[in-house]
Structure 1
């Protein structure tokens, strides 16, 4: 499958790999038989697709090849089950198979956004020699999403209750399944896009908003994909992770990425951590985290700050990256003001200004 609605300069392609039929977008890089100056791979987040990177891809410096795949169950790629017990391993394997099929030269610059930041970290942990530079954009915490309470990623409960597929918003999931493009409902996909994917003050170009919304709606829903299955729990809020689906794969029960700090110093790529200061999805008080919602009184029975505080996602990432630097690596934290969860969409010029030195470095 290929798309015919990409921005000028973007090619839509599909390839069969050893893992799945993968759709990807590509821009720049090769002229005739000339090799690209370098390759940058963009990895999208949860409930999104490669569409969210088009604006940046078309403006990359001349000579650089950009590749942005749709992960399994997203965009125009094949839908296959996600084995949550392997953390983000299915997505990493899909990336590795795609790189092999496209014969991408090592090393690449890897840019991961949100959950894609977790996938990029997992890929770097397992293949550090294949990554020239790592760019994390509002990334998933190295300790996963939900259910932990301090910088060290200590679980709130032994069964990791409060994380996983059982905490998805039913209205939002139904909107995805029904491909709802309406403006109604507090949890409609369009409302979530406008309110949480970006700073609420951001105004979309009408055509681009429709493309991003399509990128959200092209998400496979159900127990094997988004959000995943659940296990009943005696602990608050009554649900623990199941074994399949995306939100279980990012539960701290299965998702553990702090080993990035243990990469051999000789192989540690430089890390650029870019985040928006008004991100409401990945933050120290995420409005998608049941700990935050419990504190706000939105989820009854909250056991209190000592037992289940909001997950300090940003602090956890910073702590792991500081350990990364202390053990022979280097990282830079870049904060965009008045910017939410998608700096590459909200301030693409500023984002590119930070990305270009990484590519040239």
Structure 2
């Protein structure tokens, strides 16, 4: 194991009480933020177009003495940029996180996953159930992935048309690549943060930090957003095999196996009632945008229904509970895609309850 001090961060990126390390794990050179402490650690996994920087307030809010770590996934933050094999679903990311924890000698942890990171933590639960003491899903991606599925997870077209890398807004990708910090256009990262990451009423004194975190996203080949292929089905493209968005394409990702894992840790699902990203009427779901007339040529409800993301999550967690697991759901008003930022006191309460949960099994 090699743990080193990384290149110093620009002033203001690390909040007081947070330290940064670089861990040379077998799978990648990973950046890890840490609040020192003892006992079973809390490990935070960020979502798409973000990094571990988003977790700092939540890490600092934990009771004194609790060890907290946040890992930058490959191609995000200060971790190594490596291509993502989307045919493995989210396993490249999950295997990376486990590799880091193994390198650090951590064999049990409370896992917290936000958005895509929720899918990463569910994949870890599938592959290494004994590692997971508790699981907190924050605005998590559906166990069936993102886009092009019906309630039962079946595909809306044979090739999941409309899902994957081709669904990214090219102007947003260009502004990420250019490091745009302005709010002059609706497709700038700052504007997207304000409109989609949080409720429109939310204002954060740390917004500059969140924008820096978003801008750390690699747009190199094999990273964000990923490739696509032509499709005969509307809207004319289907998921490719590499890159971030394709890891959540439904033909590559199926996390419903968590229902059968043993042991079964306690799962808390926290989400906002005004989430614009993970929703039964998501503004990032092309089928829903077609239904609204934003994308022309929508073939209708039978052929291209909006993905009922939250209904899917609730159904799978219901089966997990019926199979003997413990599940709690909290849905918060005036809350968008970032409950940990928007309702920090409630989020701390949820985490404290999770830390006190009895061991799985």
**Partner SS for 1:39:** strand
- 2:347 is aligned, of 348, 351, 354, to 351
Residue 12 of structure 1 pairs with residue 20 of structure 2: yes
- 1:342 is aligned, of 321, 338, 344, to 338
CA distance in 2, matches of 1:310, 1:330: 29
What aligned pairs does 1:94-173 form with structure 2 within 5 A after superposition? 94-104=96-106, 106-150=107-151, 152-173=152-173
- 2:215 is aligned, of 201, 214, 217, to 217
Q: Give the Å deviation of 1:222.
A: 4.0
Moved over 4 A (4+): none
Residue 86 of structure 1 pairs with residue 88 of structure 2: yes
Gaps of 5+ in 2: 1-5
Counterpart position of 1:23: 31
Residue 56 of structure 1 pairs with residue 58 of structure 2: yes
Gaps of 5+ in 1: 30-35
Would the aligned equivalents of 1:222 and 1:228 in 2 still touch at CA under 8 Å?
Answer: no
What are the Cα deviations for residues 140-167 of structure 1, in whole angstroms up to 9, with x where unaligned? 00000001122x1111001111101011
Moved more, 346-355 or 71-80: 346-355
CA distance in 1, matches of 2:278, 2:52: 20
Residue 249 of structure 1 pairs with residue 247 of structure 2: yes
CA distance in 2, matches of 1:255, 1:340: 24
- 2:290 is aligned, of 291, 294, 318, to 294
**Partner SS for 1:121:** helix
RMSD of aligned alpha carbons: 0.9
CA distance in 1, matches of 2:241, 2:127: 22
CA distance in 2, matches of 1:167, 1:37: 42
CA distance in 2, matches of 1:222, 1:68: 23
Would the aligned equivalents of 1:28 and 1:62 in 2 still touch at CA under 8 Å?
Answer: no
- Give the TM-score of the pair, scaled to structure 1: 0.95
- Give the TM-score of the pair, scaled to structure 2: 0.95
Q: Give the Å deviation of 1:87.
A: 0.5
Counterpart position of 1:236: 234
CA distance in 2, matches of 1:162, 1:223: 20
CA distance in 1, matches of 2:61, 2:118: 22
